[in-house]
Amino acid sequence: MARSAGPAPLRVAVSGARGRAGREIVAALNADPGFVCAAEIEEGDDIAAALRSSSAQALVDFTTPAAGLGNALAATDAGVAPVVGTTGLGESAVARVREACAAAGVGGCVAANFSLGAVLLMWLSELASSYFERCEIIEAHHAGKIDAPSGTALRTAELMLAARDGRRFDHSRAERETLAGTRGGEFGGAAVHSVRLDGVVADQSVTFATAGQTLTIEHRTTSRAAFAPGVLLAVRAVLETGRFFDGLAEVLRLPANSAIRGLMSSSTA
């Protein structure tokens, strides 16, 4: 008896396909029988025409802040679900993508980071933030990265401050700063430091401190292939559910940290 054919693979276009991250996404799509890389799109290409001719169902965008919003809106105009890994778009641009997805009746996802480890780092940092009074974030990326701090570092700080109901961390200021900026930037009392070096992909550590102890949560990537599993999970989730996901944490359905803190409090009562 002939074996019945499985479901048709999901058709995905990639904008920024020849970039450092884009090449890894294309390779992952081509290696997974559940997906087809339907189009490889670069700057200057007619993205609307590429989406139409390829019958793409989703567009994965790893380009630049200047191009990312336009690419995502071109996707929604074509009835294609955008999955955006481009960082530095800003809240207003993300809101426009969300609204465009709702108006077009398609799902979508915009994520500060598609690395599973980075998302778990943010989640764990959010959980820990209520228990410590000081915090420093150090992120390191390749020398050519356009924005600083990284979208992941900024989102980490935002999540931690929200978990504290807006209560600031204690920030230690130097009485005498002999080199301006040495203490880094600051978000809600959390110091944020950016490192830019050749040979680095994307690393981040979050160190918490209180009397007599520190806790460091660290994530390192050795290749941009780290983004591919999260991107494929997001594409599948977007196309299967038709909903908009604010980041990979929603795709992974990580439990709310508020509920976990409640369990921890009750277990120690």
The three-class DSSP label of residue 12 is strand
CB atoms within 10 A of CB 178: 6
145 has catalytic annotation = yes
Cα–Cα distance measured from residue 231 to residue 248, given in angstroms and rounded to the nearest whole number = 8
Candidates 141, 142, 171, 193; catalytic one: 141
Beta bridge partners of 210: 213
260 HSE (CA, 13 A, CB side): 12
Candidates 145, 171, 193, 219; catalytic one: 145
**Which three-class secondary structure string do you get for 202-250?**
EEEEEEEEECCEEEEEEEECCCHHHHHHHHHHHHHHHHHHCCEEECHHH
193 has catalytic annotation = no
201 HSE (CA, 13 A, CB side): 14
Residues labelled as active-site residues = 141, 145
